[in-house]
Amino acid sequence: MKKRFLSLLFTLTLLLSALPAAAALEGEAGQAARTLTALHLLDSVPSAEALKTPVTRVRSTELLVRLYGVTPATRDVSSQEYAISKGWVTVTTGQQEPVPTGEFCASLLRQLGYEGFDDSSAALFARRAGLTTRDYEETLTLGDLCELVRDALPFPNAEGVPLAQRLVEKGLCTQADIQGFFPAELTARQVADRHMAAVFRLDTYRTDKHFERGQSDNGGSGFFVSEDGLAVTNFHTIEDSIHATATLVTGETFVVERVVFYDVEADLALLRISKTTKDGKTEVPFFSYLELAKDPDLRPGDQVYTMGVPLGITLAISDGVISAVNHQAQGFLLPCVINTADISHGSSGGVLMNVYGHVVGVTTGAYSSGNNLYISVPLIPVQEADWTAEGLTLAEVLAEVEGKSD
């Protein structure tokens, strides 16, 4: 009897200890739904089964209108009529049918004041801009919709006001309700969600034929530092090349038009990326970009993140800490930063960020004989460069560098 009691007690203990884990496994959709309910964007938290069902146009429009701070109590027409009157919604039929992802993204982008897309390209536009943080299926489930809207709350409208902040201004929630969306320090997940759209894979080509065939000779990473297409990488990623392309998280590829600035000894280059895709089918109004830290003030032990395209496989993020600052590495003009955030071949030209989401260095290399001794170079030469300069083509840079070495 005693053994049976102890066995039952042990089983009960296991079940109780599993409760927090089970709650943690409820999933992103459930967490997003609870957030939206707390912000009064949903009346109640949908069931787990409801979150898996396709969301109708009429229900997605109701959420869209609430995002604008307008509830059933503050409007005298239906949510569809209100959204149509504002010009956000253009499809008026099939209101009980599942809403296509592109259609909802287009409505949300119109509400935010953006232009340069239609229903067929809006999902791609939203991913490129950083409004959405992952790829969705052709139509949305209710859970997908909750995640998409939750992740969009820190995103600014065309006037620079974040969605969440606008909810406060409209009186739908309080500043305390949204403070979690604007933490002073970002987690790795928040950095990836908000900034990965600004990082790209850089492919370089040494001949015209290789460029035409898309046969890359080398590659690395890079990141945008302005919405009009200025981007930073290491100089060694582009040397010996006459063409280069940048491939974004969306899979879209853009040609490197000019090298606005380069410094061989500092191992830095400032590129101008075309706003038209390589295939000539899409012209984008702007790129997602990263802010440079005005005064990095790094110290050993500071948390940092790296983003790039290791091995040219996929965009990736790593976290680590600063190991040393002002390290004089052989072959580099300026003192470098040593950190423990993993990078690999292909990560050269990627971004080193602090916990505030600001760029503090360019990931460049590693000590092969050490463990977690990754090198980043400072951005001082880029910050001091003339960003309005006409620049040179990659072929002209190659000729100039070779001429100086003769």
Tens of pLDDT, residue by residue over 237-289, are 999 999 999 999 999 999 999 999 999 999 999 999 999 999 999 999 999 99
* Residue that finishes a domain, picked among 133, 165, 182: 182
Residue with tokens 């609430």: 66
* Any domain includes 339: yes
pLDDT surpassing 80 at residue 179: yes
Query: pLDDT > 70: what percent of the chain?
Result: 93
CATH number of 207's domain: 2.40.10.120
Q: Work out the widest C-alpha separation in the chain, in whole angstroms.
A: 92
Quote the number of domains for the chain: 2
Per-residue confidence band for 333, with pLDDT thresholds at 50, 70 and 90: confident
How confident is the model at residue 381, as a pLDDT?
Answer: 95
**Per-residue pLDDT, 134:** 94
pLDDT at 15: 33
Q: Which of 214, 219, 204 is nearest to 256 (CA)?
A: 204
Q: Are residues 347 and 285 in the same domain?
A: yes
Closest CA to 308 of 371, 251, 351, 248: 351
Average pLDDT rounded to a whole number, residues 310-324:
95
Q: Are 242 and 207 in contact (CB under 8 A)?
A: yes
- 60 close to 100: Cβ distance less than 8 angstroms: no
Q: Are residues 342 and 261 in the same domain?
A: yes
Residue 5 lies in a domain: no
Mean pLDDT of 163-184: 92
CA distance from start to end of the chain: 92
The mean pLDDT value for 106-122 works out to: 96
Domain co-membership, 143 together with 107: yes
Give the pairing type, strands 358-366 and 291-292: parallel
Q: pTM of the predicted model, to two decimals?
A: 0.90
Report the interhelical angle of 142-152 vs 101-112 (nearest 10°): 30
Indicate the range of 6-10, 105-109, 153-157, 183-187 predicted with least confidence. 6-10
Amino acid at 396: E
Q: Please report the pLDDT score of residue 22 as a whole number.
A: 32
Q: Are strands 358-366 and 374-377 parallel, antiparallel or unpaired?
A: antiparallel
Q: Structural domain of residue 156, as residue ranges?
A: 27-182
With tokens 């949305």, the residue in question is 140
Round the average pLDDT of the chain to a whole number and report it.
Answer: 91
Residue 26 pLDDT: 56
* pLDDT value of position 3: 38
Length of the chain measured in residues? 406
For residue 18, the model assigns a pLDDT of 34
**96 and 223 together in one domain:** no
For residues 339 and 304, is the Cβ–Cβ distance under 8 A?
Answer: yes
In a domain, 276, yes or no: yes
Whether 151 and 284 share a structural domain: no
Domain-ending residue, one of 159, 182, 205: 182
Structure tokens at 37: 């309910």
Q: Would you say residue 21 has pLDDT above 50?
A: no
What pLDDT is recorded for position 277?
Answer: 97
Same domain, 302 and 361: yes
Q: What is the rounded CA–CA span in Å between residue 290 and residue 318? A: 17
**For residue 243, what is the enclosing H or E element?**
strand 243-247
Q: Where residue 20 falls among pLDDT bands split at 50, 70, 90?
A: very low
Q: Are residues 168 and 199 in the same domain?
A: no
Dig out the tokens for 380 from the structure. 């001082």
> Given this model, what pLDDT does residue 329 score?
84
Kindly report the number of other CB atoms within 10 A of residue 277's CB atom: 17
CB count in 10 Å sphere of residue 282: 18
Give the residue, 83 or 73, on which the prediction is more confident.
83
Q: What are phi and psi of 2, to 5 degrees?
A: -65, -40
Residues 200 and 338 in one domain: yes
Is pLDDT of 131 > 60? yes
Q: Read off the pLDDT band of 403 (50, 70, 90).
A: confident
Least confident of 328-332, 374-378, 392-396: 328-332
| Assigned domain for 19 exists | no
Matching residue, tokens 């992740």: 151
Q: What is the DSSP string of 259-286?
A: EEEEETTTTEEEEEEEEEETTSS-B-S-
16, part of any domain: no
Pairing of the two strands 358-366 and 350-354? antiparallel
Residue 32 domain-assigned (yes or no): yes
Residue 221: its pLDDT value, please? 98
Q: Does the pLDDT at position 384 exceed 50?
A: yes
Same domain, 291 and 379: yes
The per-residue pLDDT for 370 is 73
Report the pLDDT value the prediction gives residue 24, as an integer from 0 to 100: 37
Asked if pLDDT for residue 111 goes beyond 90, the answer is: yes
Question: What does 301-345 look like in DSSP terms, one character per residue?
Answer: T-EEEEEE-GGGT--EEEEEEEEEEEE--TT-SSPEEEE-S---T
Domain identity same for 59 and 106 = yes
Confidence of residue 406 (pLDDT cuts 50, 70, 90): low
Question: What pLDDT is attached to residue 404?
Answer: 81
Task: Give SS3 for 353.
Answer: strand
251 plus 292 within the same structural domain? yes
Does the pLDDT of residue 140 top 90, yes or no?
yes
pLDDT at 16 over 50: no
Same domain for 122 and 237, yes or no, is: no
Percent of the chain having pLDDT more than 90?
84
CB 207 within 8 A of CB 215: no
| Residue that finishes a domain, picked among 144, 167, 182 | 182
Residue identified by tokens 């006459």 is 242
Look at residue 11 and tell me if it is in a domain.
Answer: no
Question: Residue 152: which residues within 8 A CB-CB, separation 6 or more?
Answer: 108, 131, 132, 163
DSSP letter string over 131-164? SSSS---SB-BHHHHHHHHHHHTT-B-TTS-BHH
* Mean pLDDT to the nearest integer, 379-397: 97
- Could you tell me how far CA 236 lies from the centroid of its own chain? 25
Is position 10 within any domain? no
